Amino acid sequence: MSAAEKILTSWKKKTFKPLYWFQGEEDYEIDMLVQYAEHHILTEEEAAFNLNILYGKDAEWNDVINTCRSHPMFGSRQLIILKEAQLMKDIEKLEPYFQQPLNSTILIVAYKGKSLDKRKTFTKVVVKTAEVVETAKIKNDGQVLAWIEDYAHRKGFDMKPKAVALLFEHIGNDLSRISNEIDKLTLNIRDKKQVDESDIEKYIGISKEYNVFELQGAISTRNLTKALSIIRYFESNPKAGPIQLVIPTLYAFFSKVYVAHNLSDTSVNGLKAAFGNYYTAGDVKTAMAKYNFAETEKVILLLSQYNLKAVGIGNPGVSDGSLMKEMASKIILG
């Protein structure tokens, strides 16, 4: 059980501490805890008098302390949530309150996108006096795919592997966005117990035939006709496959192919052990048969060159669609 889950469990049991500090790169757990606190720690009647939402961009440190040191009205506790605390000036001046918090106040600080400097005295005080949750982005593709499957399961349905992969390829490792899209699915599929790529297309708006995932598949199998067809779709529907998404996705994939060529065990099971996901391993294995080590190196170099062109370096005004067509042709034809 993660630190966030432990706190959520304690809150559901009506066990609270005076100080909570949530920080880190991954917003999902922070948002989950803050949302639950805002709507469930106090009853509706208590919240009318004893819930204060403050924002770091606008809040002054002395106002935060004064609010925290006030006493609840018509209840035993008050809840103060400091959102976007990373934007607050002089946040370290909250230290006196962290040294001596009021037991009738629950202060929750959401410090998103980064963490406090561990070398500073204020950080040491926070760690010593508050319940701290430190979040981090999931870097491993297999872990993100497993997270998607688990989140869908908690919502009451299963997702087929290709549907999971399609969602991941479109969104990446942004758990907040992924959870929002799965919540959208939950509202639409009703009693359906298994979701496939058709549901992703219908309710989330990601084409099951024309997406970055399918383009990756076409290029990895050297299917130029299909690749160009998908890119033409992207030209007509720019949000479906912007070049800023396409190139990093292809680069990440062919980097795995590059690594795979250097592994001693290149069976699908060996690749699964290396990359943490059977589905990715199968795609990598397929690409290895089409691109040898030298060709894979060349693909990675081409992707780097076109990444520069995509941001205007060495590009005399060529459209994104034309760049992608040219790039795909050079990769596939060698």
Residue 132 has pLDDT above 80, yes or no: yes
Instruction: Report residue 110's pLDDT band, with 50, 70 and 90 as the boundaries.
Output: very high
pLDDT for 274 beyond 80: yes
Neighbour tally for 183: CB within 10 Å = 11
- Which range marks the domain in which residue 79 is found? 3-135
Query: Which of 102, 135, 168 is at the close of a domain?
Result: 135
Let me know: does 84 contact 112? Beta carbons within 8 Å. Answer: yes
User: Mean per-residue pLDDT for 50-69?
Assistant: 95
216 and 109 assigned to the same domain? no
Q: What is the pLDDT of residue 102?
A: 96
Confidence at residue 301, expressed as pLDDT on a 0 to 100 scale: 96
* Domain end marker among 154, 184, 204: 204
Q: In a 3-state reduction of DSSP, which class is residue 46?
A: helix
**152, 128: one domain:** no
pLDDT score of 278: 66
One domain for residues 230 and 318: yes
**Count of the separate structural domains present in the chain:** 3
Task: State the pLDDT at residue 97.
Answer: 97
**Residue 122 above 80 pLDDT?**
yes
Angle between helices 243-260 and 278-290 (to 10 degrees): 80
**pLDDT per residue as tens digits for the range 201-232:** 888 888 888 889 899 999 999 999 999 999 99
Confidence label for 268 from pLDDT (cuts 50, 70 and 90)? confident
Quote the pTM value. Answer: 0.70
Q: What is the pLDDT of residue 20?
A: 98
Is the separation of the CB atoms in 55 and 83 below 8 Å?
Answer: yes
Length of the chain: 334
What integer pLDDT is reported at residue 107 of this predicted model? Answer: 98
Q: What mean pLDDT do residues 4-19 have?
A: 96
Does 304 score more than 80 pLDDT?
yes
Confidence of residue 317 (pLDDT cuts 50, 70, 90): confident
119 plus 145 within the same structural domain: no
Please indicate, yes or no, whether residues 152 and 244 belong to a single structural domain of this protein. no
**Cβ count near 280 (within 10 Å):** 20
State which of 108, 135, 162 marks the end of a domain. 135
